[in-house]
Amino acid sequence: MLERLAATVITVFARLVTGMRTNWQGCKPEPVQRIYFANHSSHGDFVLLWTSLPPALRAITRPVAGADYWLQSAARRFIGERVFRAVAIPRGGGAQQANDLMCAALDAGASLIVFPEGTRNTTEDILLPFRSGLYWLAKARPEVECVPVWIANISRVLPKGEFLPIPLLCTLTFGAPIKVGADEDKNAFIERARNALLALAPHDNGE
């Protein structure tokens, strides 16, 4: 009961603050297992992406984030473990452990939300270089769709270091799914995935 109440409060608040618009440009919100990969500029990114999904998809979709982030307080631990059912990745555990934890979640039927940049982008660059984790995850579970999602304006809603959000319109654009090719190497897939995400970025404000 508490989990449902918290989820409702979070989704309603996120929609009110951001006036969120969702654009399913390259795919539809279907009950298909997916790895949603998005640009990362705010702690609010995964909340907004999770909130943007229809309830049926939201129920099976789990964000991936560092365990240290989720364990900072009892409230955050409750939200991470009980509401979002986040896949918590231990710091210093290594790439293989991270991949194993994400694969276990996929094997249990979940979809995932990941951020291939690996850290929040606080630079002037539109997108940081991708780390290799998305490739290894896609390679390990090649049947799962990888869907690029561009989150526009969220860094202005919740700037780094700020606690209270600033009400601004945010848009999430979902692109066409991609899968790793049987003989595709890491660099080729990472470049293709990054270009697929960049293609969704608005041209007017560069976000």
Query: What pLDDT score does 205 carry?
Result: 46
Query: What pLDDT score does 161 carry?
Result: 52
CA distance 174 to 147: 7
CA distance 130 to 195: 11
What letter would DSSP give residue 129? P
CA distance 112 to 86: 9
- E runs forming strands in 74-203: 87-89, 111-114, 145-152, 171-174
CA distance 195 to 178: 11
End-to-end CA distance of the chain: 37
CA distance 207 to 200: 10
Query: What pLDDT score does 71 carry?
Result: 74
CA distance 85 to 63: 8
| pTM to 2 decimal places | 0.88
Query: What pLDDT score does 156 carry?
Result: 54
Query: What pLDDT score does 206 carry?
Result: 42
Residue pLDDT tens, the chain, 207 long: 778 888 888 888 777 777 788 999 999 999 999 999 999 987 778 888 999 999 999 999 999 988 887 777 888 888 888 888 999 998 877 889 999 999 999 999 999 999 999 888 888 889 999 999 999 999 999 999 999 999 987 655 455 555 445 556 788 999 999 999 989 999 999 999 999 999 999 875 444
